[in-house]
Structure 1
Amino acid sequence: MSAVPAQDPRVVKALDRARELGEEGLQVAAYLGGDLIVDAWAGSADPQAGRQVDGSTLFNVFSVTKAITATALHILAERGLVDYRAPVCRYWPGFARNGKESITVRDVLSHRAGIPWMPEDVTPERQADWDWMIRAIEDMPPAFEPGRTNSYHALIWGWIVGEIARRADPEHRPVEVLIRQEIVEPLGISDLFLGLPESEDGRVARLIGGDPAPDASETYLRGMPRQVFPGSTIYNTDLARRTVNPGAGAIGNARAFARFFAMLAGHGELDGVRLLPADVVDGFTEPREDADVTDLYLGGIAHVSAFGYWLGGSSPTANPAVGPNPRILHHPGAGGSISWAELDTGLAVSICHNRMHEGPFEPSAHPFVPIAEAVRAIAAERLERN
């Protein structure tokens, strides 16, 4: 792995432009193969305290977390411990209650399980109680016919996938331990946490904005209830930082998330460490069933993979920084965080920030588009030299 690069003036200019377009504090990191080719930051981590972003600042990335959790499940599947076509209840018998017996692992991964809502009586304290969440999920009936409806599982997805993984794992490791031992440590990643230690609180960027509007729709709030909504009111709290939330709770820096996605961009391998076979990672680009049908939760076509990632696309729900190439694996997060892996070029990028915004944006107004353009220009120069 190469030394940490100096901040390229093109990236510095792009970060300045992002701040002109509304960002507060942000980081970007990019890998090309095993080389960290971009590592830059700008702005304020906490305007109230006067603390500036640096390379070690940690950020909430919300649903970018899902890509990591999905990968942990895929590692188990490659060991023959999980069958994507099997019903969830094969691994988790209590899940079969109230009409959920036919829901498959693949249905869950692709957001077609039909249970996109959080428990109605969830609170931050109950969300932090893994056993309470699992009991509540067991008791829930499907809102839609399982396996038939595209409806993004904004928050609940993490607990379902995390519990499948825990039960399928022969050691029954909690999902945060599984992720640490099977992904974070083997790849030599530092500064990626699922359940942040109190000792790291001083490095976390303070979230700004992102709470639901007063007139937010009932459907929107059933997937992300106000009392646990992924915005600044809830996620700036100590409890939210400690909570193991495998669908929206990861905290880390851009270097850490870019290094994880570099493994995907390397078709399952990074710096001689292989987590998944190359053909398996290539297969993650398979779209979910009925991919061209509107997602009822997101309100548009969502380019979701059958395996828990998002794919490049050009629909209104797609992020213009990622681009339309369907061979780009990525995941967006609430408020705009984004990380991606380009299977054709080997480029992996992570952009973290603390000013939460709502899309969609026109490409010319999206604060991350100038950053993506600068990073790709640097990567293209590297590829030409090689």
Structure 2
Amino acid sequence: MLGGNIRSGTNTRHLLGATAGALGALLVLGQTATPVVAADIPDFRPDQWALASIGAQEVWDGTQGRGATVALPGVSVDEEHPDLRDNVQIDTEFGANGDDDEQGTAAAALVAGHGHGRDADGGVLGVAPDATVLVLPTDDDLPDAIRYAMDEGAQIILLPEETGGDEELIDAVAAAAGGGALVVGPAGGDEDPNVLSVAGVNEDGELIPDSPEASEIDLLAPGDELRTAGQDLGQTDVSGAPYAAAVTAGAAALLTSQYPQLTPNQLREAMVEGSQQGPDGLPTLHVATAVSQASGVAEDIPLVDEDLAQEEDTGVPVWMWFALVGVVLVLILLSLVLWVRRSSADPYGVKAERAAEEEELAAERAERAKAEERPSRRKKGGRRRKTK
């Protein structure tokens, strides 16, 4: 399960009556005018200091994460939470989606919360509100869940915990990274080069308590008092490296959505190189500059593999030519058969009528011929001439 802290004071609301009918209405985010907030649907976005800190809203005009999938293996998530509904896909291949979902729901909303209510003017937002979160609950099969996430096409995989020297888990992470996924996880424990290890900072830019040593940290991100989705259709505040990693996974979703041609290593470098300097000289996530960094790399990389395109453009394969010729010959043969059958058919009975007439004429001719050939005979009892 995800580590970190969750404040006991959870903001809860119950949506009744007309409020329930407003849950499905969403508006394109990042608009300049602030919508009027309904009295019974509190808007917690002003409390989400992390979004402003990393400059997420500065890039929402260009991308909000549409088309990007972030996998969350090893956690359960409340897919019916109004801040997450329709952005979450639950796959129970490796375990049931249980009721112990507070930490998973919080992480998922930090990645892809979309708010709720009329014009999406209530609730909380994630870094990539249009991204998809693939949840793979499991208690004891995290390595296979990670491999499954890669096979399902997740571009980013958010680990719930450090690999901790687990060889099977390390091998699964290596396979996912080699298969084209950026693996993000909380910093701490043994260093894993295939994981972008993230630690948390507070609103003042300082490392949060219990942070690992600088040598174990690849990137810093907001990880203290983060307002996000909670249980009972409410909101809560969370702190810890796993939630800083969730913020980073959301940022990676924005980048991969806008520049899908970049490899996991290039996405990682864009976020690290396009960062701001944090405590102890460590890089601190800043989405706006990371997008600029990714743009410079992506302009030299075509969206389509040109070598593959040339291979595919060499012409139609020989077997396909033979198949096409065979189909044409079959069609021609069928056409000839149909033509012959139609031309030899007598649909109106003309031939039968003519044959009957010819048979009748032949019978009449035969009767005449027989009458002409019959010999003339003298009748008996006739008178005889006397001789003199």
If the length of structure 2 is used for normalisation, what is the TM-score?
0.24
Larger radius of gyration: 2
Which gives a bigger RCO, structure 1 or 2 (Cα 8 Å, sep 6+)?
Answer: 1
